[in-house]
């Protein structure tokens, strides 16, 4: 009996992890409906050229990923990408709009957004796991009036607590 219970719990845990990242969904085979059934409703959706779609699945604040799921013109899964990575952060440049940043990184954590009146500056923040396996944050600073990117930076959470905070990186 206990053995069956342990097996059931392991199965449920593994299936939850698959839904978290979309693991197991095969590109070119899985449909948009199957993506939504496994991963849930997207936080954001963009209609792309030619009938393609982009769906955002942020997994914060406790998680370290935002998955962008791309659906092709036939309604099939094209690819799934964790965008909270250095190569995507490097694409954030001064002059970009908020809409461009959202489509690149997905929505920031609302509880970590801040407005600084003295500088007329809005800050959006995402949590990610850096290349040293440390819990980190990526900040984008916008001009408060124009909503255009001024700058961006990242920092490790351990910098504020004086000890490193390790994270698991499954990608």
Task: Tell whether the model's pLDDT for residue 14 goes beyond 60.
Answer: no
Task: Tell whether the model's pLDDT for residue 8 goes beyond 70.
Answer: no
**Cβ contacts of 73 within 8 Å, gap of 6 or more:** 50, 51, 52
Distance, in Å, from the CA atom of 138 to the CA atom of 116, rounded to the nearest integer, reads 17
At residue 143 the predicted structure's pLDDT band, cuts being 50, 70 and 90, is: very high
Check residues 71 and 7 and name the one with the higher pLDDT. Answer: 71
Task: Tell whether the model's pLDDT for residue 121 goes beyond 60.
Answer: yes
Share of the chain above pLDDT 90, in %: 74
Asked if 82 and 167 count as a contact pair (C-beta separation under 8 A), the reply is no
Task: Tell whether the model's pLDDT for residue 92 goes beyond 70.
Answer: yes
Task: Tell whether the model's pLDDT for residue 66 goes beyond 60.
Answer: yes
State residue 11's pLDDT score: 36
Distance, in Å, from the CA atom of 99 to the CA atom of 93, rounded to the nearest integer, reads 13
Candidate ranges 10-24, 87-101, 154-168; pick with highest mean pLDDT = 87-101
* Residue burial 25-42, b: 16+ Cβ < 10 Å; e: rest: beeeebebebbeebbeeb
Give 15-20's long-range contacts (Cβ < 8 A, gap of 24+). 17/170, 20/59, 20/63
At residue 3 the predicted structure's pLDDT band, cuts being 50, 70 and 90, is: very low
């Amino acid at each position: 009996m206990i053995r069956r219970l342990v097996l059931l719990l392991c199965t449920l845990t593994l299936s939850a992890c698959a839904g978290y990242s979309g693991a197991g969904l095969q590109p070119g085979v899985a449909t948009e409906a199957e993506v939504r059934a496994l991963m849930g409703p997207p936080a954001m959706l963009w209609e792309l050229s030619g009938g393609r779609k982009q769906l955002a699945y942020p997994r914060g604040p406790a998680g370290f990923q935002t998955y962008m799921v791309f659906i092709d013109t036939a309604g099939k899964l094209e690819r799934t990408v964790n965008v909270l990575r250095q190569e995507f952060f490097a694409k954030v440049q001064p002059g970009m709009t908020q809409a461009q940043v959202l489509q690149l990184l997905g929505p920031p954590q609302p509880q970590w957004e801040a407005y600084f009146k003295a500088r007329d500056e809005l800050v959006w923040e995402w949590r990610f796991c850096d290349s040293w396996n440390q819990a980190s944050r990526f900040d984008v600073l916008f001009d408060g009036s124009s909503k255009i990117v001024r700058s961006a930076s990242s920092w490790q959470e351990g910098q504020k607590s004086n000890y490193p905070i390790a994270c698991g990186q499954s990608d």
